[in-house]
Amino acid sequence: MNKERIYLDHNATTPLLAEARSATMQALELPGNPSSVHEEGRAARAVVEKARRQVAQLVNADPAGVVFTSGATEAAATVLTPHFKMGKADLTVGQLLIGAADHPCILAGGRFDPRQVTRIDVDHNGQIHLQALEGALAGQDEASRPAMVCLMLANNETGIVQEMGLASDIVKRHGGILVVDAVQAAGRIPVDLKALGADFVILSSHKIGGPKGAGALVCGSEILRPVPLVPGGGQEKGHRSGTENPAAIAGFGAAAEHVTARLADDPERIAELRDRLEFGILKKCADCLIYGAEAERLPNTVFFAIPGMKAETAQIAFDLAGIAVSAGSACSSGKVGPSHVLAAMGFDAEQGGIRVSLGPETSTGDIEAFLSAFEGIVSNRIAAS
């Protein structure tokens, strides 16, 4: 990464950690297939299994529950299905309930028929309307099939952390299956599969400083598993076929171990930088709107709007000033459009917002450089008005 530039877009991807790079490079030297029984194959298998333990520790899960995938999108497509196995018996899920502000890979509904998918509204602070969730699940109680509820623990645009406890209680009271999208939360706040009451957790490697192209579906039980999205040779104990990628998986595991160890200190330090950033924004532009300011948020995320300036215009200005930020999510191949997250929260989706997401290497100097550039951008807005 160009050291002359300042990278403040960690929610899009976190630069590769040194530990992850080292583990990846070492795994690339291994010639064996993890499914082979000879010495070379066993060495590759050992790398995969070590990473499985490391990823499991990140979310307080059993390593046997970790199924490696090509990323979080594949993990979501795997678990969002009406077709499950409960032990050896078939189990059919009748309905999928998702949050209106969830990630596009969740909003796509996986393998459910669109008629089986219901979006649950969120309030002005990005929290799920619990009464609506309760009502939707109560209606499903009349059927013989359980419902699935999938919610983001932390929103990728706003950083708002979902109040998962009450939602989890409602889901369990109605016999539902709870899937937690922890892609943005993992490594930034503690994530505990058991404490969340989750049946499944979705993770991504590159959001925590691992290599791109690896993710995981973490299952809370050996009994309840989705019918495989990718059938074939039976890798990952039959839950995801295709030869594993030991290099990417090793880097994922190393990153998971690193961020798990840093969870005691990093969130507080980064939150202090985030608060410094927000104070500076409002000091230099009192009419700026910080989305979700009244809600619990990730310690690293600020999502704000500059009145009278389109988000993409501000993003380009920051880029020209040598600072990488985003205008919302980076999940649509560089396309910038109205934010469905802001629309769901009742804000002007066309106005959009600038997302600043900090990382482990972000410094006070980076924050000051951002605020200096921001002051110039706001001054230009005033001069042009």
138-159 per-position pLDDT tens digit: 877 556 689 999 999 999 999 9
Residues of the chain with pLDDT under 50: 1, 330, 332-333
CA trace torsion 109, 113, 115, 118 (10° rounding): -20
Would you state the pLDDT for residue 337?
67
- Same-domain pairing of 238 and 354: no
- Same-domain pairing of 32 and 157: yes
Would you state the pLDDT for residue 349?
75
Of 316, 319, 315, residue with least CA distance to 303: 315
Q: How far is CA 288 from CA 136, 319, 385, in A?
A: 37, 20, 16
- Same-domain pairing of 184 and 300: no
Does residue 83 form part of some domain? Answer: yes
Does residue 323 form part of some domain? Answer: yes
Of 191, 179, 193, residue with least CA distance to 98: 179
In one-letter notation, the amino acid at residue 310 is K
- Same-domain pairing of 257 and 278: no
Domain boundary among 262, 291, 324: 262
Number of domains in the chain: 2
- Same-domain pairing of 62 and 163: yes
| Angstrom distance (rounded) from CA 15 to CA 360 | 10
What is the domain-level CATH number for residue 369?
Answer: 3.90.1150.10
Q: Hey, what are 84's tokens? A: 């499950």
Does residue 1 form part of some domain? Answer: no
Q: Give the strand pairing for 147-152 and 95-99.
A: parallel
Does residue 152 form part of some domain? Answer: yes
The angle at the Cα of 292, spanning 327 to 282, to the nearest 5 degrees, equals 75
Question: Given the structure tokens 């990278």, which residue do they identify?
Answer: 7
- Same-domain pairing of 236 and 114: yes
- Plot region of 191 (φ>0 → left; ψ -120 to 50 → alpha; else → beta): beta
Domain boundary among 222, 241, 262: 262
- Same-domain pairing of 323 and 378: yes
| Angstrom distance (rounded) from CA 183 to CA 197 | 17
- Same-domain pairing of 116 and 27: yes
Does residue 209 form part of some domain? Answer: yes
| Angstrom distance (rounded) from CA 150 to CA 170 | 13
Domain boundary among 262, 288, 321: 262
In one-letter notation, the amino acid at residue 140 is Q
Does residue 302 form part of some domain? Answer: yes
| Angstrom distance (rounded) from CA 88 to CA 267 | 42
- The set of catalytic residues is 331
Of 159, 216, 210, residue with least CA distance to 193: 216
What is the domain-level CATH number for residue 234?
Answer: 3.40.640.10
- Same-domain pairing of 276 and 169: no
Does residue 193 form part of some domain? Answer: yes
In one-letter notation, the amino acid at residue 71 is G
Does residue 269 form part of some domain? Answer: yes
- Same-domain pairing of 175 and 222: yes
Of 98, 144, 103, residue with least CA distance to 118: 98
- Same-domain pairing of 234 and 364: no
- Same-domain pairing of 44 and 167: yes
Q: Which domain holds residue 59?
A: 18-262
In one-letter notation, the amino acid at residue 252 is F
Would you state the pLDDT for residue 333?
41
